[in-house]
Structures are given as C-alpha cells and as structure tokens.
Amino acid sequence: MAYWLLKSEVDAWSWDQQKKEGRKGAEWTGVRNYQARNNMRAMKEGDLGFFYLSGGDKSVVGIVTVVKEAHPDSTDGSGQWECVDVAAVADLPQPVTLAEIKTKPKLEDMVLVRNSRLSVQPVTEAEWRAVCAMGGISDPPSV
C-alpha cells in the first residue's frame, strides 16, 4: 500500500468533476508517459493520493483513493496506455500550494519539487502526513 500524487489541469479535469463522480470514482485518463504509467500500475485498491492542480492554482486540493487498479485507458486507441479509477475522499480544508511546500525543508525531496513534470508521483508517508497537516487535516487517513 502506498501514497501518490495525481496531477490535473483544472481545464482538463477539475476537483469538482472528480467529486461529482462520487464513491464509484472515474478513470484517470490521459496519462501518456511511461514513468507515470508505471506508477499507476503499482497502485493498489485502497491506496491514497493527493489531487494536485497544475497551471493556475498549483496546489493540493483534495484526497482521492484508488477504486480500480490499472486497466486499459478507454481514451487510448493504441492499447498501450493504462489508467486507474480514483474516487474523491475528502477536501483539504485549506489547499496547500506548491509555494508553501517549497518553503518546508523536509518536503524538498518531494517528487513534486524535484521533478515537477511527472504527472503521477509516489509520495512518502512522512510527506503525506506533512501535507495533510498543512492542509488542515490533523488526523490524516492512512493506507
């Protein structure tokens, strides 16, 4: 079991859209990068992840959980790309911006900071707790 961070552009897939899908969740489509795909392949049902918005807000706004493990991406015709299904679990009471994350020495090794372009990233347990705390969740969900 593990923690992750999933990136989205608000125009492509917003947190509101994600929440509307409810507990059944929705396919996390559109990933066309091998490293990101491999990370999705490693996901287990019940894993938790941050929902991060790149572009305008650049912040972690919510928590999702994996409800279906990797399977072919229905938006891909080549059969080469896969996706998982994720469902919204909770809002962060206070979104955590990239700028804030960068001010914390213990978060300087987050993939988000080190390799901002990777759209599906692993998150360590320590990072998970720290960002949850910054977001106003005192008792973070755990895997």
Partner DNA sequence: GCCAACGTTGGC
Question: Which residues would be at the binding site for DNA (CB under 7 A)?
Answer: 7, 9, 33-35, 54-55, 58, 98-99, 102, 112, 114-119
Which helix (H) or strand (E) element contains residue 120? strand 120-123
- Joined together, the tokens standing for residue 111 give 């993939």
Instruction: Rank residues 59 and 65 by Cβ distance to DNA and give the closer one.
Output: 59
CA pseudo-torsion sign 25, 27, 29, 31: positive
CB of 35 to DNA, least distance (A): 6
Q: Tell me the C-alpha distance between 36 and 28, whole Å.
A: 11
CB of 16 to DNA, least distance (A): 19
CB of 82 to DNA, least distance (A): 14
Beta 120-123 vs 3-9: how paired, if at all?
antiparallel
Instruction: Rank residues 67 and 113 by Cβ distance to DNA and give the closer one.
Output: 113
Instruction: Rank residues 99 and 138 by Cβ distance to DNA and give the closer one.
Output: 99
Q: Which residue is listed with tokens 């938006």?
A: 75
Instruction: Rank residues 2 and 112 by Cβ distance to DNA and give the closer one.
Output: 112
CB of 22 to DNA, least distance (A): 26
First to last CA, the chain: 6
